[in-house]
Amino acid sequence: MKLPGHDAIARQADEHLVTHRVKLPRKLVQHPFRQVAKRVSVAFLLLVATTLIVYADNGGYNDNSDGHVDFLDAAYYATVTLSTTGYGDITPVSDAARLTNILVITPLRVLFLIILVGTTLEVLTERTREEWRLNRWRSTLRDHTVVIGFGTKGRSAIQTVCATGLKKEQVVVVDPSSKVIDAATAEGFAGVVGDATRSDVLRRAEVHKARKIIIATQRDDTAVLVTLTARQLNRAAKIVAAVREEENAPLLKQSGADAVITSASAAGRLLGLSCLSPAAGMVMEDLIHQGSGLDIVERPVIKAEVGRSPRQTDDLVVSVVRGHRVLGYDDPDVGSLQLTDRLITIVRATPGTQVAPDARPLPQD
């Protein structure tokens, strides 16, 4: 088996410096920094306006130090007044100045406090709301799909399962990169930042309650560790993993994967088929692209089909799943269809009439 040395695996499994956290998808009307900058700008404008008002009527104010109020004194008075500090060293003495304080500066002071206190309250409220959303998400999440890795393979896998009718709320992405998780949440998926080889990270993704787990990591050794950890946390979930090297596929199956896809070999076979027959390559590409053209789906046998042969069904049947065996449509062992059989069929995908594969895992040995 072609895997890196044990030291590299141990370093990856023992890595504790990665901060893992759950990120739920949300729509931001405006970037938080822009919101803060806007409020700071308004507060600064209020301060400038108060300073100019006081300086314009500086004769109506008295400074205990020298009796004269200049521009710096006006700015100082505006600062301590709007912040409600009020040292009392500069005070309005004329009727006009006091009336201005009552009718103009006091409303500005209230508005200034609303901006400062409102920003603090909004931050606290946002944290409370986010914590509530997270707790509610954890309590309601059931039978979802966990995707480990949001690279090219992970994205394509999510597009395929979502094309069959799976809602985005039922998909959780796990990736060690915070930027990658930000991209996933921007598309409407929940995300967990962290190393998926660690059980505590997978628990945050609620792997123990998941129905399907897709492992699309960049390294084969990582895929092995993730598969072992995921299978330990969830014995019933259907685990599908991708590896680069075909010789590593048996190890993934021994680790608990129900199905293993060799990405490099699969791409090579598709290239070879397209070289021999471009039309056949286009058909295969259409079949594996869910939601358009021809789709290959798995469905249960209906009562009207019991006792018939695969050729006598309305759909184009390519295989029959009986127990843990997958039989070709022309296999003599198929005989007549049974109610417990499942059919692998090719159907035409049309908008609004998608045929979703059944979510139940196939029987195990």
Predicted pLDDT at 224: 93
**112, 118 contact by CB (below 8 A):** no
- The one-letter code for the residue type at 338 is Q
At 291, the pLDDT band (50, 70, 90 cuts) reads: low
* Nearest Cα residue to 83 out of 91, 75, 92: 75
Predicted pLDDT at 172: 93
Rounded to an integer, the average pLDDT of 100-112 is: 85
At 12, the pLDDT band (50, 70, 90 cuts) reads: very low
Q: How far is it, in rounded angstroms, from Cα 40 to Cα 88?
A: 26
At 365, the pLDDT band (50, 70, 90 cuts) reads: very low
Question: Which region among 61-70, 147-156, 289-298 has the lowest average model confidence (pLDDT)?
Answer: 289-298
At 24, the pLDDT band (50, 70, 90 cuts) reads: low
Predicted pLDDT at 21: 67
**Does residue 72 surpass a pLDDT of 50?**
yes
Q: Chain-wide mean pLDDT for the chain?
A: 80
**Does residue 314 surpass a pLDDT of 80?**
yes
Rounded to an integer, the average pLDDT of 335-347 is: 88
CB atoms within 10 A of CB 222: 21
CA distance to 32, 135, 145, 357, per residue, from 28 (Å) = 8, 20, 25, 34
Percentage of residues in the chain having pLDDT higher than 70: 82
Rounded to an integer, the average pLDDT of 87-101 is: 83
At 120, the pLDDT band (50, 70, 90 cuts) reads: low
Residues near 359 by Cβ (< 8 Å), separated by ≥ 6? 143, 211, 212
Rounded to an integer, the average pLDDT of 37-56 is: 86
Residues near 287 by Cβ (< 8 Å), separated by ≥ 6? 294, 295, 296, 346
Predicted pLDDT at 211: 93
Predicted pLDDT at 17: 42
Q: How far is it, in rounded angstroms, from Cα 311 to Cα 60?
A: 101
| Secondary structure of residue 365 in the 3-state scheme | coil
Predicted pLDDT at 125: 66
Predicted pLDDT at 91: 81
Q: How far is it, in rounded angstroms, from Cα 343 to Cα 320?
A: 5
